[in-house]
Amino acid sequence: AEQGLEEYFESRVAGEQRIEPRDWMPEGYRRTLVRQVAQHAHSEIIGMQPEGDWLTRAPSLRRKAILLAKVQDEAGHGLYLYAAAETLGVDRADLTERLIEGRQKYSSIFNYPTLSFADVGVIGWLVDGAAICNQVPLCRSSFGPYARAMVRICKEESFHQRQGYELLLRMMAGTEAQRAAVQDAVERWWWPSLMMFGPPDADSPNTRQSMAWRIKRDTNDELRQRFVDMSVPQADRLGVTLPDPDLRWNAERGHYDFGEPDWAEFKRVIGGGGPCNAERIARRRAAHENGAWVREAAAAYAAKRAAEREA
Ligand code: 3HC
């Protein structure tokens, strides 16, 4: 019977039909989805910290309001994704424990410091731009709740990227100091943005199976290339120089050739050795502990209401 179920599952995936939480699915499919969706959710929540550091120091009320809206969006993205993960039978509190204890990952990109307000613009342009390249194909992921969460997230991500690029256009039209701040931020965020797409396909243990199950629709290298091709003309328009001497248009390929990211740095950062890993986890742990009273009060209230209904 299981063999029949497996075949039916494979035919549905091959037929571009969505797999829903109550459908039969191979244990490996469920496990790799919990892994990817939970880590995606963790990335959104941790991702609130780098830009959150600039909320009290935004240069104008307008910039503060835009940044506040973006940071709040990231919290919402985390909630959609934890809810999608919970349809696979895991519990959000347990996922948070795994994040805090370092037993689950979050995106490497958030382990770098935000040193000036230009970083807010560069994160919007490059980091949210990379997230869009990575997330638009996930709107067609075979697991229904994940794909549907992506549709809403991608719409909000586009606002995130536009606000960042617009901020940079304004700064590049500003003083020499503002232009230098943007160029400095681009040099610090360019290579870590390329690493967001994961290791090269040859070193990616999950890609082959995730592509077969249509969880992923493109490989890490394909999406990285798409991001480079999209970003180079935008950098030219901005008037910034991308920190890669090997970057050049390859007419035969119809793509930009570019240099090799520092994969030793990537491994160090996802292994906990990045510039801000300890701080990001410490702040997440503190927020979780400081919020315990809210969870306890909500649980006590729910129990009281349930007892009243029973009576
Ligand atoms: N940061 C941290 N860990 C990473 C990583 C990164 N940038 N890239 C890869 N890894 C990890 C993988 O999680 C995997 O470890 P695991 O088995 O313990 O989970 C290991 O490195 C090998 O990588 P693989 O390529 O084999 O793993 P995947 O097939 O899962 O590919 C991925 C990695 C491309 C990140 C994929 O998981 C994915 O597309 N995830 C959904 C998108 C996502 O998580 N984006 C986060 C970006 S931040 C964001 O979107 C917020 C936005 O608002 C800015």
- Residue 28 Cα to ligand 1 middle (Å): 17
Q: How many CB atoms lie within 10 A of CB 182?
A: 26
User: Residue of the nearest CA to atom 28 in ligand 1?
Assistant: 206
Work out the mean pLDDT of the chain and round it to a whole number.
97
- Nearest atom (ligand 1) to Cα of 44: 51
Residue 248, classed as helix, strand or coil, is strand
CA atoms of 139 and 158, how far apart (whole Å)? 14
- Burial (CB count within 10 angstroms: exposed 0-12, middle 13-18, buried 19+), residue 286: exposed
- Residue 107 Cα to ligand 1 middle (Å): 6
Q: Please answer whether residues 119 and 162 qualify as being in contact, where contact means their C-beta atoms are separated by less than 8 angstroms.
A: no
- Residue 127 Cα to ligand 1 middle (Å): 13
Q: How is the chain split among helix, strand and coil, in percent rounded to 5?
A: 70, 5, 25
- Residue 126 Cα to ligand 1 middle (Å): 16
Distances (CA, A) of 126 to 160, 170, 190, 242: 10, 16, 7, 11
pLDDT surpasses 80 at 2: no
Residue 154 corresponds to which tokens in the numbers above?
């991608």
Rg of the chain, C-alpha, whole Å: 21
pLDDT surpasses 80 at 184: yes
Give the pLDDT of residue 3. Answer: 81
- Asked if residue 108 has its Cβ within 6 Å of ligand 1, the reply is yes
Q: What is the mean pLDDT of residues 39-55?
A: 97
Q: Kindly indicate the confidence band of residue 1, based on its pLDDT and cuts at 50, 70 and 90.
A: confident
| DSSP secondary structure of 207-270 | HHHHHHTTSSSS-HHHHHHHHHHHHHHHHHHHT---S-TT-EEETTTTEEE-----HHHHHHII
- Residue 70 Cα to ligand 1 middle (Å): 21
- Asked if residue 210 has its Cβ within 6 Å of ligand 1, the reply is yes
Give the pLDDT of residue 256. Answer: 98
**Residues 188-247: pLDDT tens digits?**
999 999 999 999 999 999 999 999 999 999 999 999 999 999 999 999 999 999 999 999
Q: Please answer whether residues 67 and 58 qualify as being in contact, where contact means their C-beta atoms are separated by less than 8 angstroms.
A: yes
- Residue 147 Cα to ligand 1 middle (Å): 16
- Asked if residue 105 has its Cβ within 6 Å of ligand 1, the reply is yes
**Residues 7-36: pLDDT tens digits?**
999 999 999 999 999 999 999 999 999 999
Running DSSP on this structure, what letter comes out for residue 135?
H
User: Residue of the nearest CA to atom 25 in ligand 1?
Assistant: 204
User: Residue of the nearest CA to atom 33 in ligand 1?
Assistant: 198
**Residues 296-311: pLDDT tens digits?**
999 999 999 999 999 8
- The widest CA-to-CA distance across the chain, in whole angstroms, is 76
Please give the distance of CA 169 from its chain centroid, rounded to a whole number. Answer: 24
User: Residue of the nearest CA to atom 41 in ligand 1?
Assistant: 40
- Asked if residue 277 has its Cβ within 6 Å of ligand 1, the reply is no
